[in-house]
């Protein structure tokens, strides 16, 4: 947890004791230090987080430390332990909220994650494929090596969602597991794997483009309704999107692909409303200072926020967006339903824990998914993971 101090006091950051005091600029009261987690160094999420952090330092005097982490569990652990306040996440935000995959274990369960700001820009999020494979369509990935990252349900489920466009399942490809996102993309360059999920503007994709292997982004034609129906069954948070930037992509050579907000700057719902309001307002008022800091950062503009997504916006962020003229009564009503969903999931998790669930990990997850489905059905809410 980040605390505000009225007087000088020591704060420990990564084992270092510092004397700091909060900075007051305009009517934004930011904490003196912030720790933010993100994907690996060089990725779009990390680079954008660094750009936002520099703005906060320059304009508000807040020291922001960005911690790279190779998977969703590693990115969220510091937030849950209150050693970090915000994370630049991907669709793992949704999986953690729902308590599925790696978050369906005894150690985790549904997490009350809420949005600050997220970006949808000229890029897309999809499977990048090594050009030397000769693959030009998703269906041609049958039998090919597809990268997975241990502990990262977002990357793995996203890869499966894109494969579904080509009517492929996990059993139709050869899964190669890696320890982190960065390691997976190094595997692409080293010819250890043929396809990996990413945003088109990620640094590693550019590295692959300039390597002997090259890169291609097999299209997801938007008029292929059946293909898109299959995508949404696996990844309900995806939507059709035309990419005009990224490795090998230009405005003159756009590609019909898919996308979802990334990076998603998110916090735990327990973070104080005033603190999240200050962070969000700083990001809104300081937008011009970081919008050109990294590819994709322009998508963080207040008027470009994805409305009515699958994870609620934190009340503090909603307050800042409302002040910016970018929040409506309809959004507020929709947001309240998403917050209610988090309450339903939290209650279901507590009740499941009291039911003497099995100790075996696989049996525990299976039991939880049944309890989760029953609770959502009773509340007349969609499951999302049938």
Same domain for 51 and 140, yes or no, is no
Give the structural domain span for 333. Answer: 33-119+263-379
Whether 77 is covered by a domain: the verdict is: yes
DSSP SS3 for 196:
strand
Q: Which residues contact 210 (CB under 8 A, 6 or more apart)?
A: none
Whether 207 is covered by a domain: the verdict is: yes
DSSP SS3 for 28:
strand
Q: Which residues contact 7 (CB under 8 A, 6 or more apart)?
A: 21
Report residue 6 as tokens. 């009225």
Same domain for 250 and 298, yes or no, is no
Same domain for 283 and 308, yes or no, is yes
Whether 55 is covered by a domain: the verdict is: yes
Q: Final residue of a domain: which of 211, 242, 259?
A: 259
Q: For each of the chain's 386 residues, which pLDDT tens digit applies?
A: 433 333 333 333 333 333 333 444 457 889 999 999 999 898 889 999 999 999 999 999 999 999 999 889 999 999 999 999 999 998 899 999 999 999 999 999 999 999 999 999 999 999 999 999 999 999 999 999 999 999 888 789 999 999 999 999 999 999 999 999 999 999 999 999 999 999 999 999 999 999 999 999 999 999 999 999 999 989 888 999 999 999 999 999 999 999 999 999 999 999 999 999 999 999 999 999 999 999 889 999 999 999 999 999 999 999 999 999 999 999 999 999 999 999 999 999 999 999 999 999 999 999 999 999 999 999 999 888 86
Number of folded domains that form the chain: 2
Same domain for 105 and 79, yes or no, is yes
Same domain for 183 and 273, yes or no, is no
Contact 267, 114 (CB under 8 A): yes
Distance of alpha carbon 353 from alpha carbon 334, whole angstroms = 29
Same domain for 255 and 130, yes or no, is yes
Task: Determine if the pTM surpasses 0.85.
Answer: no
Whether 206 is covered by a domain: the verdict is: yes
Whether 282 is covered by a domain: the verdict is: yes
- 145-149 and 174-178: which strand pairing? parallel
Quote the pLDDT of residue 26.
56
Same domain for 308 and 270, yes or no, is yes
Please name which of 211, 296, 302 lies closest in space to residue 262, comparing C-alpha atoms: 296
Same domain for 176 and 208, yes or no, is yes
CATH number at residue 184: 3.40.190.10
Which ranges of 220-270 would DSSP assign to H, the alpha helix?
225-234
């Amino acid at each position: 947890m980040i605390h505000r101090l009225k007087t000088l006091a020591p704060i420990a950051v990564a084992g270092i004791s510092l004397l700091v005091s909060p900075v007051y600029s305009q009517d934004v009261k930011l904490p003196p230090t912030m720790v933010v987690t993100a994907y690996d160094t060089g990725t779009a999420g990390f680079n954008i987080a660094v750009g936002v952090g520099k703005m906060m330092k320059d304009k508000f005097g807040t020291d922001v430390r960005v911690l790279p982490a190779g998977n969703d569990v590693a990115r969220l652990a510091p937030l849950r332990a209150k050693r970090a306040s915000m994370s630049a996440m991907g669709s793992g935000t949704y999986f953690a909220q729902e308590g599925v995959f790696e978050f369906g274990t005894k150690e985790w369960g549904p997490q009350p994650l809420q949005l600050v700001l997220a970006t949808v820009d000229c890029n897309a999020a999809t499977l990048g494929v090594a050009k030397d494979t000769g693959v030009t369509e998703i269906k041609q990935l049958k039998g090919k090596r597809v990268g997975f990252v241990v502990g990262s349900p977002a990357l793995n489920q996203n890869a499966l969602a894109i494969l579904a466009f080509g009517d492929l399942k996990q059993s139709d490809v050869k899964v190669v597991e890696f320890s982190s996102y960065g390691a997976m993309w190094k595997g692409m360059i080293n010819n250890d794997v043929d396809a990996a999920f990413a945003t088109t503007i990620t640094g590693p994709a550019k590295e692959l483009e300039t390597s002997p292997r090259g890169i291609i982004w097999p299209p997801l034609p938007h008029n292929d309704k059946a293909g898109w129906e299959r995508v949404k069954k696996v990844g309900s948070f995806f939507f059709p999107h035309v990419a005009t930037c990224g490795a090998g992509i230009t405005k003159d050579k756009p590609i019909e692909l898919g996308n979802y907000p990334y990076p998603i700057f998110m916090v735990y719902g327990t973070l104080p409303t005033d603190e999240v309001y200050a962070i969000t307002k700083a990001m809104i008022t300081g937008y011009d200072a970081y919008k050109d800091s990294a590819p994709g950062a322009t998508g963080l503009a207040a008027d470009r926020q994805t409305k009515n997504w699958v994870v609620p916006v934190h009340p503090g962020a909603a307050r800042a967006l409302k002040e910016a003229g970018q929040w409506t009564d309809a959004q507020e009503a929709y947001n309240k339903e998403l917050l209610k969903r988090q309450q339903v999931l939290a209650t279901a998790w507590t009740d499941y824990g009291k039911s003497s669930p099995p100790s075996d990990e696989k049996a525990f997850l299976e039991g939880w998914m049944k309890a989760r489905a029953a609770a959502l059905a009773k509340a007349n809410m969609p499951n999302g993971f049938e």
